[in-house]
Amino acid sequence: PGTHLTMARVAIALGSNLGDRLDHIRAGLAGLERLGPIVAVSRVHETEPVGGPEQGRFLNAVAVVDTSVVPLDVLARLLEVERSRGRERTVRWGPRTLDLDLIAYEGERLSLPTLEVPHPRAHERGFVLAPLAEVWPDAELADGSTAEVALGVIRSSGIRRWEGSWRTEPPLLGR
């Protein structure tokens, strides 16, 4: 018997509202490559902050990765990439250089003190749902809905989608 590792599809949300926001999410995306092949990347969405103190607008995107890394190790890698970009966790929902969240992990439901999968509030957040529905509309969320269905239910005003491939060139501000 071998030690065959099963591949799973995961969705990771990327966000930044401090410093060079685009550079931070590009670095975050590059850091995800160590988890496995990146199979899809949404466009960039510029959004208003939700909760927390008054702060600047976010750039948000979602990457879909095929990985054999278990959920807790995915979380550890995300925290490591955040720290490499100067992320400090001093104010809950405060401004940040880079925020990486594990939104969905195919076939997994976890409720641990340090990690809940699917993300417990993703189905309420337009800044997650808009890019997620672009790249994985059938991703299952904590409330049992899919990204596409949940996006149709919430109000997603205040989200501006940037056009173009932000991975290599400056995107254009879209609608």
Give the catalytic positions in this structure: 87, 96, 99, 101
Q: 110: Cβ–Cβ under 8 A, 6 or more apart, which residues? A: 71, 116, 117
- Report how far apart, in Å, the C-alpha atoms of 163 and of each of 14, 125, 175 are: 17, 21, 9
117 SS3 class: strand
CA 114 to chain CA centroid, nearest Å: 17
Distance between CA atoms of 43 and 163, rounded to whole angstroms? 7
- Residue 27 identity: A
